[in-house]
Amino acid sequence: MLARETAFIFIEFQNDFCSEGGKLHCSLKNELARNNTLTNARRLLDGARAKECLVIHCPFVLAPDWVEQHACTGILAGVYENQVFVRDSWGQAIIESMTPVEGEVVLEHKHTLSAFSHTALKEILRDAGIRNLIVCGFLTNICVQATAFSAYDRGLTTRIAMDACCAGTEAIQKYMEENIPPVLGGESTVDKILAEIAA
């Protein structure tokens, strides 16, 4: 994979998931520690920057009107009921260690599962000449998987950096690590993915 044709998308590295006091942090803190998610994600971000790849930060933002209008059930209903990722709140903010820098994209309007839905991601990738997308973040089996499968279906070479992701349980994370990389093809760890990318 060529660096100039590769983008990295960092999904939902936000306080509500990642920081003490975040509304979902208690349910994830053990897996965050076991998988060393935040340290690995920062290594992936540093590697993407060093290789001068396109970096996209993808925070979730609660869209209450949309949830109400579409009679959402399941996970989106839970986000709404518990007021998680409320726009402009501390919980919705990107964590300090993953703070975007000048020239990086902060994707707007992600309020469902795939980062391609209701956002300009497709156009951003097309305009930048991107052929490869590296995905990481939260949750491995929900928004990360939805985004990766959407990218794959659009003809992009797609990788998930599994050690820079987090699921709700060890069993789910291990299932994803064992079963999803063969579907997409290619490497699935931070170090091996970065090694694949040529200048």
DSSP state of 177: H
The residues pairing with 137 across neighbouring beta strands, listed in sequence order, are 11, 165
Lowest mean pLDDT among 13-22, 24-33, 71-80: 71-80
User: Residue range 172-192: average pLDDT?
Assistant: 96
pTM score: 0.96
Contacts of residue 111, defined as CB under 8 A and 6 or more positions apart, other chains included, come to 60, 61, 62, 63, 66, 67, 118
Please report which confidence band the pLDDT of residue 119 belongs to, taking 50, 70 and 90 as the band edges. very high
| DSSP-based three-state secondary structure for 137 | strand
Categorize the per-residue pLDDT at 53 as very low, low, confident or very high, splitting at 50, 70 and 90. Answer: very high
What average pLDDT does the segment 53-62 reach? 97
* Domain ranges, ordered by start, for the chain: 3-196
Give the per-residue pLDDT at 66.
87
pLDDT at 39 over 90: yes
To which CATH superfamily is domain 3-196 assigned? Isochorismatase-like (3.40.50.850)
Residue 71 has pLDDT above 80, yes or no: no
Does 173 score more than 90 pLDDT?
Answer: yes
Question: CA separation (Å) from 115 to 101, 123, 194?
Answer: 20, 12, 22
